[in-house]
Amino acid sequence: MDEDQGQTSGDPHGEASPTAGQPDAEAAARLLDKLRAFVTDQLDDDERAMFAVLLAPGVAMAYPDDEVVGFSADWRTAALPEALAETLRSGGLRVEGL
């Protein structure tokens, strides 16, 4: 709750969100909202495709294996476009501590 403005965090109108009182859920909802806006407003089609490759493993982990029948995905690094893989390596980007 933003005490200065009397608003619920993440909602500019002060209405309670469905995740109110759940800091992790609120942070996740804010992150997804920002990702949607970023993908829509900032990325071109080629960038969107590469971004999807980066996000796919995490998104796939959010769903139980049996939820989407008939679809399976193998998210090995071999599926990563080489230009994107090289850019990640040369930029030194790593995700640790997960």
Which residue ranges make up each domain of the chain?
Answer: 23-91
- The whole-number pLDDT of residue 21 equals 62
The distance from CA 41 to its chain's CA centroid, rounded to whole angstroms, is 15
pLDDT higher than 90, residue 94: no
pLDDT higher than 50, residue 34: yes
- The whole-number pLDDT of residue 5 equals 41
> In the chain, count of helices (H) and strands (E)?
3, 0
> For residue 80, which of 45, 55, 44, 43 has the smallest C-alpha distance?
55
Q: Which residues contact 80 (CB under 8 A, 6 or more apart)?
A: 53, 54
- The whole-number pLDDT of residue 8 equals 41
The predicted model scores a pTM of 0.58
Spatial distance between the Cα atoms of 86 and 71, rounded to a whole number of angstroms: 29
